[in-house]
Amino acid sequence: MMANQPIFILPQSTERYSGRDALRMNITAAKILENIVRTTLGPKGMDKMLVDSMGDVTVTNDGATILREMDIAQPAARMLVEIAKKQEDIVGDGTTSVVVIAGELLQKAQNLLEDGIATSVVVRGFRNASAKALEILNNISVDARDKDTLKKVAMTAMTGKGSDFAKEHLADLVVDAALRIEEDGKVDKDSINIQRISGDSVEDSFLAEGIIMDKTPVSKNMSRDIKDAKVALIKYPIQLKEITTDAKIDITSPDQFEAFLNNEEEMIKDLVDKVVESGANVLFCQKGIDDMAEHYLNKAGIVAYKRVKKSDMERLNKATGAKIVTDIEDLTPEVLGSAGHIYVEKIFDHELTFIEECGNPKATSIVLRGSTRYVTEQISRALDDALGVVAATIEDGKVLIGGGATEIELVKQLRDYGDSVMGREQLAILAYAEALEIIPRTLIENAGLDTINLIADLKAAHEESPAMGINVFTGKIVDMKEEGVLEPLKVKIQALQASTEAAEMILRIDDMIAAKNGLNSTGPDESGNDNSGMPPMPPAPGMGGMPPMM
Ligand code: ADP
Ligand code: MG
């Protein structure tokens, strides 16, 4: 009787895709993402114009920025974005490459699956190929962390990012900054603060010792040039606790009113006294300072800054050695820091505070100048990439040759390796090798050059030398090492690992089960606006908010 009755274990509104359907959908989504960012790869990559929900416009060809700004709904594509972001966090460059390689790996995987090869065989082949690729990368990398190499690495990362006209100068700033803060072979990028100022030209950008803050003292009457500063950092408001709107104060006589005001004044005076007693003469406060407090601080000869950014507080902490205290009671002479010179200077039409001769001499800032906000924003992203690659090179001292040279060499050596492997896994290894060709192919395509012929020429050139790559400006195949196009080993290793990991994760999904409306939401952490920056994704509509799949 019951035999023909369907049994539902999931609510009827649940959407479900199984097996090949799920896979096809996810691969399609990954390919769409790949095609979006692909056109930005390399020095001749095009820009994207991104408009956020507030109407703010960003023009960029930085993969990390594009992925960050796009509101991706499809879950597999979101996974890919997350993995690419990890690349950005760990090494600060190579984000576009991760997405492009992952998309290509998935395309090759799909072809194999359609030919009847099992997913597990494909995954195993990809894993072995990736392990071999890392070995090859290590073998062909070159040891170097001299200043000249660092500068080339910085310039390679900045090429095509809107800063080419001032690339040399900016690369010098980045390398000097990184070397200044380097400690035991480690470079903490966060201790370099990039201060953007619109007005004047990029060539006027400079490196400053210490910290630069886009702030001036709370009062015009306070000193703007302090020697031997004793610095206090507090995260405590120097103002009266805000009276909530429903608090009621009964004042029935003028005397009472006066007492009330005096009382307030006493409390503020007390707070200021605490600062005075600590011996500080410069106060950076992450919270507010009210007018009355300002008056008493000024009277006591203390220079104060209010509503200082958290990131600046942290840099001040590192540079001056002052502890950030959260309770004013903890403000004692022991928690103060020092700076030899704190002063305000006007750059273009911008007043900035310079904090120099700090207790910790490693603090460094780059003052980035440019004609408009768009220019400084774009260049600051290029600087960020450059800092990432310079830091990576200082840290592991190994570089690879760019311009497609490394990828073509990988293709060649992986093919040889594949030929030595028996069975169907060989096909997966060869497919992995072929997928890596996407990098030089895209560099050539984006430069508007002849892909088929140049790839063939490149491969032929690699019979002679592993350094041959494509000069996208001349369309010639040249020794890219001589051209100075160098990239850190760490970036390429991370990129390969990340894209292989992403492809594998997506290949392993054979079932997608989405709660009602899950297919159209942008997931639990988004604000719920549905105008995702992506075109519609046939046949896979978005499918956010399904943690069991992750
Ligand atoms: P990603 O986000 O992956 O870093 P990019 O747009 O920065 O993407 O492009 C990086 C690619 O551009 C690398 O493969 C690199 O070798 C190549 N590249 C950089 N400079 C040059 C150059 N001068 N000539 C040819 N290729 C270059
Ligand atoms: Mg890059």
Is 252 a domain residue?
yes
Does the pTM surpass 0.85? The reply is no
Number of separate domains in the chain: 2
User: Which of 362, 377, 392 is the endpoint of a domain?
Assistant: 362
Let me know: does 386 contact 169? Beta carbons within 8 Å.
no
CB proximity list for 144: less than 8 A, separation 6 or greater: 393, 397, 398, 399
Same domain, 358 and 215: yes
Consecutive sets of 10 residues in the chain, 550 residues long: mean pLDDT of each?
71 77 89 93 90 84 84 86 90 93 96 94 96 97 94 95 88 94 86 85 88 92 94 91 62 77 83 93 94 93 95 91 93 94 89 90 86 88 92 95 97 96 94 97 96 96 96 95 96 96 90 67 43 41 37
Domain limits for position 277: 211-362
Cα–Cα distance, 248 to 244 (Å, whole number): 9
Give ligand 1 pocket residues (Cβ under 6 A). Answer: 40-43, 45, 63, 93-97, 156, 159, 402-403, 439, 443, 470-472, 485, 487
Ligand having the closest approach to the CA of 406: 1
Q: Residue 403 CA: which ligand 1 atom is closest?
A: 26
Residue 439: inside a domain: no
How many angstroms separate the alpha carbon of residue 42 from the centre of ligand 2?
7
- 151 falls within a domain: no
Ligand 1 atom with the smallest distance to the CA of 160 is 6
Decide if 428 is inside a domain: no
CA-CA distance, 363 to 353, in Å (whole number)? 14
CB 543 within 8 A of CB 73: yes
CA of 531 to the centre of ligand 1 (A): 31
Mutate to test the pocket of ligand 1, among 88, 152, 159 (most ligand atoms within 8 A of CB): 159
Return the sign of the alpha-carbon dihedral for residues 452, 456, 457, 458: positive
Domain boundary (362, 389, 408) is at 362
Distance 461 CA to ligand 2 centre (A): 25
Where residue 311 sits, what CATH number does that domain have?
3.50.7.10
Q: Which atom of ligand 1 is nearest to the CA of 93?
A: 4
